[in-house]
Amino acid sequence: MKIYEQKIAPNARRVRVFLAEKGLLDQAEFVELDLQKGENRTAEFRGKNMLAKIPVLELDDGTHISESVAICRYFEALHPENPLMGSTPLEQAEIEMWQRRCEIYFMNLVGMAFQHTSGFFADRMTPIKEWGEECYKGASKFMHMLDKHLADSEYVAGDSYSIADITAMCTVDFSRVVQLRRGEEQVNLNRWYEAVSGRASAKA
């Protein structure tokens, strides 16, 4: 079993942290790709994922699973102990709700801000600086909303650490590339961040 990734990329990191929490990091061979050099855009890699995105899980029978949450869901189903996506229907729904919020209104916006203001992928897309700046504002707004939410919640989706925390933590760290940082006044966000980034899995 292989996982194609670029280790520093936030989506690849989400999978690594998830597997570390499950104690499964040693179950896969990690294959490092250089995205800036376009190693994910070859015909061979597009055969694994037609969208040419990482990470991609390659099973021993040749099956390929892309999209980080789909990969995590596969491992959650195989190893339901220490659940990171909930146990009861209500837990699963609440975690999915917050996971989606953190992904759509935070991670994706930081990603768009990076792509459209940094010029990192200017050789394969047309950056629109104004759109990147709007995405930055949206991500900043969500960070403030998350701070308020965490005043009444130990973790992003309730009392237990979950994939929603993984997505939010990876995004907080990734947001540094667009100079979006936690403020001292965001005491709830900072309390939560110190807790989740202090877990051993965060270093995966």
Domain of 24 in residue numbering reads as 2-78
CATH of the domain at 187: 1.20.1050.10
Q: What's the average pLDDT block by block, 10 residues per block, for the chain (204 residues)?
A: 96 98 96 94 97 97 98 98 96 98 98 93 90 98 98 97 98 97 97 98 96
Tokens of 40: 């994910």
Q: How many domains does the chain have?
A: 2
Question: Edge-to-edge, what's the strand order for the sheet holding 56-58?
Answer: 29-32, 2-5, 56-58, 64-66
Q: Quick one: 99 and 73 in the same domain?
A: no
Please name the residue ranges forming H helices in the chain: 10-22, 43-46, 68-78, 89-102, 108-118, 129-149, 163-174, 187-197
Which of residues 78, 113, 131 is at a domain's end?
78
Q: What is the pLDDT of residue 73?
A: 98
How far apart CA 198 and CA 195 sit, in angstroms, is: 5
Q: Quick one: 124 and 186 in the same domain?
A: yes
Q: Are 170 and 107 in contact (CB under 8 A)?
A: yes
Q: What is the pLDDT of residue 133?
A: 97
